[in-house]
């Protein structure tokens, strides 16, 4: 069974009346010259129109759509050139064209990309289970459950279910290149979510436009996404937990941890997340069963790390930077001081003084004797201590040039101090000297820094990947301005010819994130039609569903769906006409389901 081309369609239409009325080219303008959604013959299909009569589903009476007992009171009938489909609702209409299916042919009806807004099949979607799949791969398994990322009206990133991955048809595409080097191919009318919360069609995007970004990073094996303000990271499994609570999968439990059922920290699909009491969760992971064992494991881990002087130095410096940065924040020192004052009540001071007095009574002699023994008859130690204290402040022979030379030779700060036979405290005499920049090790280029930032999603993570302190990024101020803030449009080009296009729907947010790290608007309208069997004829009843949270508009007497024709290798034994099917010779009106 093969897909038939425009030549075959034209021949069947003209000689056998397969499509009436028939247009042997795509009609793109109205009789008055206005642009319309095209209809007519395409390369491998025919785009049909929807007539100006509609039945809009309404749920004012909490109706149930029962295909065995269809209640017409659940629909509002209207006539007009335009129909507005309510959010998460659908309408019924019928085709302007009458179709006569050949006895050896099966006709499929799919939605037009003008309504669906689509992407090239290779376009990958960011999924919440730590993977990404192309739209073509998702469409090949439409019954699978998929979860990705969506952005609310205020920019908050949440988890969203991705529905109805599907093949739409063939259409022209634009190639949109981002400043990250990622390429996205989409139909010209597909809307992109900008950083300011507005949507713009791909054809109207400008170079340098800032797209709403999806930034992700991994910390201790857990994924987190950056929220719109650029300073707050949300753990992805917490987003899954929010989805579960919103959809009443389970109830909120206080003092609870979010637990991955399969223990895969990257699998953040809501079905893999449950809430556990914090104590039970710690016990489950064997942390809390034996506090002494837990403590000993932590000590063992640190002892192993301490074997590496480089690690010790990096850890100490990182801790120092964290402390300084924390206390440099406005109001932190004052708040800390106030907290200390509040914590040290008069009663606590009396209690602490009593503990100190009791300790000294019990241990004074032992402590005093220990110090005497340590310094007894150790003249060398006394001299070293005195010299050390003097050298920290004097050591005039240690200049900035000598420190730089020692840093290049040793490759680390501790080694440089040993070469100069001094304590690292001597380096404090040169507060303006950037010690890290003079270490003789691989120099970090802007390309290295950009690649690390892209992989890690944060400056802290990138510094770890590069095995450098975060200060190395000060050399690249332009990079820091752009990371992580926006993905920007670098260029837009038209792709030649027609291409297979696919789409997917996020009903909750109206948009979803691509693996390229940008948010795009829903592929929202779905046209559902039963395949037209050999021998069937009549006007097609069309169901058009709006799976978005916003109203959607469709236009009468303009293209709404595409017919694909498949000719069988052998003629069927019994046609729909032979069976006297109940929907044979459908009139030009909406025909409701019947038994």
Residue by residue, DSSP assigns 298-316 as HHHHHHHHTT-HHHHHHHH
Q: Does the pLDDT value for residue 61 go beyond 80?
A: no
Q: How far is CA 112 from the centre of its chain?
A: 27
Which residue do the tokens 């503990």 mark? 355
Give the Å distances, CA to CA, from 419 to 428, 454, 490.
Answer: 17, 38, 50
Do 76 and 129 sit in the same domain of this protein? no
Q: Token pair for residue 32?
A: 């008055």
Cα–Cα dist 191/205, whole Å: 9
Do 223 and 296 sit in the same domain of this protein? yes
Spatial neighbors of 281 by CB under 8 A, at least 6 apart, are 256, 257, 259
Residue 355 lies in a domain: no
Give the Å distances, CA to CA, from 523 to 111, 164, 206, 212.
Answer: 11, 10, 22, 17
Do 112 and 6 sit in the same domain of this protein? yes
Lowest mean pLDDT among 138-152, 441-455, 463-477: 463-477
Residue 396 lies in a domain: no
Task: Express each pLDDT in 386-431 by its tens digit.
Answer: 766 665 555 678 888 888 888 877 766 777 887 888 777 777 777 7
pTM score, whole prediction: 0.56
Say whether the peptide bond before residue 517 is cis (omega within 30 degrees of 0).
no
Task: Express each pLDDT in 212-268 by its tens digit.
Answer: 999 888 877 889 998 876 557 899 999 999 999 999 999 888 888 899 999 899 999
Do 7 and 58 sit in the same domain of this protein? yes
Residue-level pLDDT at 237: 96
Do 19 and 101 sit in the same domain of this protein? yes
Helices 459-466 and 446-456: crossing angle in degrees, nearest 10, is: 120
Question: Strand, helix or coil at 552?
Answer: strand
Q: Which domain holds residue 452?
A: 446-482
Residue 152 lies in a domain: yes
Q: Report the share of the chain in percent with pLDDT over 70.
A: 86
Residue 357 lies in a domain: no
Residue 502 lies in a domain: yes
Do 19 and 112 sit in the same domain of this protein? yes
Residue 377 lies in a domain: no
Q: Does the pLDDT value for residue 279 go beyond 60?
A: yes
Residue 574 lies in a domain: no
Do 512 and 531 sit in the same domain of this protein? no
Q: How far is CA 71 from the centre of its chain?
A: 41
Cα–Cα dist 327/44, whole Å: 67
CATH at residue 142: 2.170.16.10
Do 265 and 232 sit in the same domain of this protein? yes
CB 114 within 8 A of CB 188: no
In the chain the first and final C-alpha atoms are separated, in Å, by 31
Q: Report the share of the chain in percent with pLDDT over 90.
A: 32
Count of domains forming the chain: 4
CATH at residue 74: 2.70.40.10
Cα–Cα dist 290/580, whole Å: 76
Do 57 and 98 sit in the same domain of this protein? yes
Do 132 and 177 sit in the same domain of this protein? yes
Question: Strand, helix or coil at 385?
Answer: helix
The Cβ-side half-sphere exposure at 157, using a 13 Å CA radius, reads 31
Task: Express each pLDDT in 314-338 by its tens digit.
Answer: 888 888 888 888 888 888 788 877 8
Last residue of a domain, one of 269, 300, 331: 300
Largest CA distance in the chain: 118
Q: Token pair for residue 222?
A: 């857990």
Q: Does the pLDDT value for residue 297 go beyond 80?
A: no
Residue-level pLDDT at 485: 43
Do 152 and 90 sit in the same domain of this protein? no
Last residue of a domain, one of 300, 333, 366: 300
Do 9 and 97 sit in the same domain of this protein? yes
Residue 418 lies in a domain: no
Q: Does the pLDDT value for residue 492 go beyond 50?
A: yes
């Amino acid at each position: 069974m093969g897909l038939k081309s425009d030549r075959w369609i034209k021949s069947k239409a003209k000689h056998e009346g397969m499509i009436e009325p028939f247009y042997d080219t795509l009609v793109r303008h109205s009789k008055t010259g206005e642009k319309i959604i095209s209809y007519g013959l395409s390369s491998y299909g025919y785009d049909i129109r929807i007539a100006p009569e509609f039945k809009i589903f309404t749920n004012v009476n909490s109706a149930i759509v029962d295909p065995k007992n269809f209640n017409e009171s659940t629909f509002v009938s209207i006539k007009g050139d335009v129909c507005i489909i309510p959010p998460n609702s659908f309408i019924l209409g019928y085709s302007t064209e009458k179709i006569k299916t050949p006895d050896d042919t099966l006709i499929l009806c799919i939605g037009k990309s003008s309504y669906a807004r689509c992407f090239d099949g290779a376009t990958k979607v960011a999924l919440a289970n730590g993977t990404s799949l192309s739209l073509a791969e998702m469409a090949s398994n439409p019954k699978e459950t998929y979860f990705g990322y969506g952005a609310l009206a205020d920019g908050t990133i949440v988890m969203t279910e991705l529905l109805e991955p599907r093949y739409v048809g063939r259409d022209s595409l634009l190639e949109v290149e981002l400043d990250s080097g990622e390429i996205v191919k989409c139909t010209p009318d597909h809307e992109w979510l900008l950083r300011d919360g507005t949507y713009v069609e791909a054809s109207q995007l400008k170079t340098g436009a800032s797209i709403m970004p999806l930034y992700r990073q991994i910390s201790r094996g857990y994924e987190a996404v950056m929220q719109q303000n650029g300073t707050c990271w949300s753990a992805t499994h917490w987003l899954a937990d929010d989805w579960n609570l919103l959809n009443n999968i389970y109830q909120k439990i206080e003092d609870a941890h979010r637990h991955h059922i399969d223990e895969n920290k990257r699998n953040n699909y809501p079905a893999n997340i449950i809430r556990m009491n914090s104590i039970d969760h710690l016990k489950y992971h064997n942390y809390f069963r034996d506090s002494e064992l837990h403590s000993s494991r932590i000590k063992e881990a640190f002892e192993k790390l301490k074997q590496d002087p480089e690690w010790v130095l990096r850890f100490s410096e990182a801790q120092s930077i964290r402390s300084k940065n924390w206390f440099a924040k406005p109001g932190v020192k004052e708040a800390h001081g106030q907290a200390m004052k509040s914590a040290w009540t008069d009663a606590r001071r009396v209690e602490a003084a009593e503990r100190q007095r009791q300790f000294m009574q019990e241990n004074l002699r032992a402590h005093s004797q220990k110090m005497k023994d340590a310094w007894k008859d150790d003249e060398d130690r006394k001299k070293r201590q005195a010299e050390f204290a003097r050298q920290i402040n004097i050591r005039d022979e240690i200049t900035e040039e000598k420190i730089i030379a020692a840093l290049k030779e040793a490759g680390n700060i501790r080694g440089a101090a040993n070469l100069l036979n001094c304590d690292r405290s001597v380096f404090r005499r040169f507060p303006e000297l950037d010690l890290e920049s003079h270490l003789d090790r691989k120099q970090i280029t802007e390309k290295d820094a950009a690649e690390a930032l892209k992989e890690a999603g944060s400056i802290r993570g990138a510094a770890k990947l590069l095995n450098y302190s975060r200060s190395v990024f000060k050399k690249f101020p332009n990079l820091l301005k752009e990371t992580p803030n926006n993905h920007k449009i670098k260029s837009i080009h038209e792709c030649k010819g027609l291409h297979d296009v696919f789409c997917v729907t996020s009903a909750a947010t109206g948009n979803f994130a691509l693996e390229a790290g940008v948010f795009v608007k829903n592929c929202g309208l779905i046209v559902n039609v039963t395949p037209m069997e050999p021998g069937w004829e009549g006007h097609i009843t069309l169901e058009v569903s709006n799976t978005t949270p916003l109203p959607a508009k469709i236009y009468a007497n303009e293209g709404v769906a595409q017919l694909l024709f498949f000719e069988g290798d052998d003629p069927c034994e019994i046609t729909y006409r032979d069976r006297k099917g109940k929907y044979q010779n459908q009139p030009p009106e909406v025909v409701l389901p019947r038994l």
